[in-house]
Structure 1
Amino acid sequence: MKSRIYELVEKGSHGRRLNQMFDNFIMSLIVMSLVSIILESIPDVHSKYSEILYGFNILSIGIFTIEYFMRIYVSDVTHPSETRLKSASKFIFSTYGLIDLLAILPFFLPMLIKIDLRFLRALRLTRFLRILKLNRYNDSLNLIWAVIKEKKSELAVTGFLTFLILMIASFLMYHIEGDKQPEAFSNILESFWWAVATLTTVGYGDIYPITGLGKFISGLIAILGIGIVALPTGIVGAGFMAKVEQVKQKKEDRKCPHCGCDLLTRQHEIHSN
C-alpha cells in the first residue's frame, strides 16, 4: 500500500501512466486554483459566481489536504530517519512541505491566519518541473547558484552600500522636505520609501521634493541608482561568464586527443579497446 502511494505521489513521469496522470491532475488543479483566486479579485465575477468559486475552493483544498497527508504517510521513504515521527517532521519542515502546509492551513484556521496564502500554490508547480522536462536546466541553475555563493562577499558589500545610501537620503530628505511637505515626508520611514523608489529609478511620482535642494539631492540619488542597480547584475554576470568558461575548459581537458570523445564516458572505453 505504502509503495503504491509513494509511486503515485513521488515518482511522477518516471513511473507508470497512473503516476503521470496524478501529477498532471495536481498540476492542473494548482493552475485552476490560481485562476480562481484571480477571478475572485474581480468584483463582477465574484458577485455572479461566488458560490461556484467557493465550492471549487473547498474541493481543491480537500484534494490538496489528502495529497499532503499522503506525502506525510510516505515521508519515512522520502525523508528517511530514525523514527517515523522524525521523518514526518523532516517533510513538514522542508521547503515543499511548508509551502504545501501554508497553502491549506488558512482554510482550517481562519480565525488565527487572516492572510490568504493560496497564492503559494504557484510555488508548488516547481515540484512538477520534471513533467515539463526542465531537469536538463538543473546544471545552469546550479551554475548560477554557485556564482552567487562565490560572489556573496561582493554582493553583500553592494547591498550594504545601497542600504547606507538609502538611509542617508532618507534622513536628508526628511529634514529638508519635512517642513514643506509634512504629509509626504512625515517621518524617516516615509522618506525611506521615496529613497527606494528614486534609487531604483522607478519614480512612482506619489512622493517628490519641491524645494531646490531637495530636487538636487533627488537628482543625485537617481543618478547613483543607475550604477547601484547595475552593480549586482554586473558582478553576477561576470562571475557567470567566468564559470561558463571554466566548465568549457574542463570539458575540453577531458577530451581524448585521438578520438575527441569524453575520457570519462563508455564511448572512450570502446574506442580505446
Structure 2
Amino acid sequence: MTLRRRLYLILDPTAKGDIWERIFETALIAIILVNILAIVVDSVKEIDHQYSALFRQIEVFSIFFYTVEYVARIYSIVENPTYGEPMKGRLKYMVTPMAIIDLLAFLPFYLIFLPLDLRFLRIFRLMALFRVFKIARYLQALTIFKQVLSKRKEQLVLSFLFILFILVIISFMMFYAEREAQPDKFSSIPATMWWGIATITTVGYGDMVPITPLGKFLGGVFAIAGVGLLALPAGILSSGFFEMLHNEPIKEKGSSICPHCGRDIHEGTEHKAE
C-alpha cells in the first residue's frame, strides 16, 4: 500500500481504515475540543492573564496540526474516485464545504504576518470558531441531520416563505396602525418587521410595543398565530427525524442503503466493485 493510500484511509472517516484511523480521529476530536475550551476560557481576562502562555502554545500546536492535516488531505484526496484527477480533482475538493472549513481553521493565524490593520485582523479571530465545524465529519448525528434537511428541504423552504409572507403582511398593517402614535419606533415597514420577529418568536424584547387599540388587537392576533407558524418547520423536522430514526427504509430487491451517504447500493454495482 502506498503512502498516499494510507493517508487517505486514515484521514477519510468514510473509508475503511485500521487502528491508525481511530487513533487519528480520537486525536483530532480531542484537539478540537481543547481548542473550543481554550477559546471559551480565553475570554475570561483573569484566566487569560494567568495562562496566556499556555493558550499560546495550544494555539501554535493546533495551527501546526491543522496545517499538516490540510496538506495531507489535499495530497491524498486523489485516492477518492470522485477527485481522481491530480489537478482538477484536488481543486474540486478544495472548494467543498468541509475543505473550506479545514482551511479557515488555520488560515487566520498566518494573516498576522501580513501588513494589515490590526483592527481588521480582530475579525479573523472569530474564524477560529470554524474549528468547531471540523468535528462535523465525525459525528453521525450531524450526518442524519443533513439527510433530514436534504429530504425535507422543499417543505422547509415553503414553510419559511409562508412565515415571511405573514410577517410582511402583519408588519405592513402594524406600521399603518402605529406610525402616527409612535413615529420614532414604527418609522418604517422594515423597522416594524423587527417588532414582528420579536413577536412571532415569542421573545418580546419590549423595545417596540403597540399602544393603539388596533395595534394591540393586531399584536395579540399575531402573537397567537406565531406559535402555530413556528410549529410548521419544527413539525417538518421532527417528522423527518422520526422517519429517519424509527422507520426502516424500504429496500428494493437487490439493493441496500449505504450507511455513509444514504444512497442505494445495488447488487450489480457491488459485483462490479468486486
TM-score (norm 1): 0.73
CA contact (8 A) 2:152 2:236 kept: no
CA contact (8 A) 1:147 1:236 kept: no
Match of 1:171 in 2: 172
Which one of the candidate residues 21, 31, 34 is aligned to 2:33? Answer: 31
5+ long unaligned stretches in structure 2: 255-274
Match of 1:263 in 2: none
| Bigger radius of gyration among the two | 1
Match of 1:9 in 2: 11
* TM-aligned CA distance change 1:91 to 1:143, over 3 Å: closer
Percent identity of equivalent pairs: 31
Is 1:125 matched with 2:135?
yes
In the TM superposition, what are the counterparts of 1:1-273 in structure 2 within 5 Å? 1-10=3-12, 14-78=16-80, 80-81=82-83, 83-109=85-111, 111=116, 114-115=123-124, 116-129=126-139, 134=140, 144-145=148-149, 147-149=151-153, 152=154, 154-237=155-238, 247=248, 250=250
SS at match of 2:152: helix
Letter in 2 for 1:207: M
Letter in 2 for 1:37: I
CA contact (8 A) 1:12 1:19 kept: no
Give the Cα separation in 1 of the matches to 2:46 and 2:211.
41
Alpha-carbon distance, 1:122 to partner: 1.6
Give the Cα separation in 1 of the matches to 2:71 and 2:225.
51
Alpha-carbon distance, 1:199 to partner: 1.1
5+ long unaligned stretches in structure 1: 255-273
Letter in 2 for 1:222: A
Give the Cα separation in 1 of the matches to 2:184 and 2:84.
60
After superposition, what is the alpha-carbon deviation per residue over 1:82-112, rounded to whole angstroms, capped at 9, x for unaligned?
A: 6311111122111211111122222223547
Backbone CA RMSD of aligned residues: 3.4
